[in-house]
């Protein structure tokens, strides 16, 4: 926790959060009691939480630490420690390079209509029991950018942008972090305007 208006070593706190599965919370000294009450109102729901995500072999993760990924960058593992119901896990992925795809003689991306995703979440419940939850999904491939942007969870995208820019800033590239933040702010404003226009059109037709 950091008090607003007081300096703190954000870089060290951020690294500590990554290692322990915590998060940085800046509190206003005039609302200290309320801030503490809000934090305590979010109890831990699981501990020793480790999440592993698997991608299609034609995809790969990006902006992730090498030690958290498999050699071909298709498996990502993250240790979150303790989590609450507000804990969020985001990641970014992209298509592999042309050179990498050429080496895969059994893969033709032009014929791929959907990509499979799988998440494996292992955790310890409050009663000490250990569990493994496996979540699988198939995502349809589409070239309709405007349609996809309307369907996207912009709140989740924005939270991911915050996490990514913070990670890059901690790595020392502050200008790149600022560029990402400005790009996403611009994108979110455009998305909000587009959503408002769609809602206005639908209300007019109704």
**CATH code for position 59:** 2.60.40.1670
Q: 65-97, pLDDT tens digit by residue?
A: 888 999 999 999 999 888 888 888 888 899 999
Predicted confidence at residue 56, as pLDDT, reads 95
Torsion, Cα 198 202 205 206, to 10 degrees, reads -170
Q: 114-153, pLDDT tens digit by residue?
A: 999 999 999 999 999 999 999 999 999 888 888 887 787 7
Quote the pTM value.
Answer: 0.65
Residue where a domain stops, chosen among 87, 114, 141: 141
- Residues 117, 179, single domain; the answer is no
Give, in order, the Cα–Cα distances in Å from 87 to each of 67, 69, 176. 22, 21, 26
The number of folded domains in the chain is 3
Contact (CB, 8 A) for 65 and 103: no
Indicate the pLDDT class of residue 204, thresholds 50, 70 and 90: very low
Q: What percent of the chain has pLDDT over 90?
A: 29
- Residues 132, 148, single domain; the answer is no
Q: Which domain holds residue 114?
A: 44-141
């Amino acid at each position: 926790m950091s008090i607003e208006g007081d300096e703190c070593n954000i870089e060290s706190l951020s690294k500590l959060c990554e290692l322990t599965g915590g998060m940085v919370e800046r509190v206003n000294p005039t609302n200290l009691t309320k801030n503490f009450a809000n934090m305590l109102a979010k109890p831990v729901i699981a501990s020793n939480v480790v999440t592993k995500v698997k991608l299609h072999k034609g995809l790969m993760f990006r902006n992730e630490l090498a030690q958290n990924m498999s050699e071909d960058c298709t498996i990502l593992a993250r240790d979150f420690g303790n989590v609450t119901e507000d804990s969020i896990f985001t990641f970014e992925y992209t298509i592999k390079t042309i050179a990498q795809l050429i080496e895969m003689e059994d893969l033709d991306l032009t014929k791929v209509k959907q990509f499979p995703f799988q998440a494996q979440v292992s955790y310890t419940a409050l009663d000490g029991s250990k569990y493994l939850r496996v979540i699988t999904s198939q995502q349809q491939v589409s070239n309709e950018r405007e349609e996809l942007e309307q369907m996207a969870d912009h709140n989740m995208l924005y939270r991911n942008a915050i996490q990514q820019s913070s990670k890059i800033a901690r790595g020392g590239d502050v200008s790149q972090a600022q560029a990402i933040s400005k790009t996403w702010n611009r994108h979110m404003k455009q998305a909000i305007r587009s959503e408002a226009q769609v809602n206005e059109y639908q209300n007019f037709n109704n």
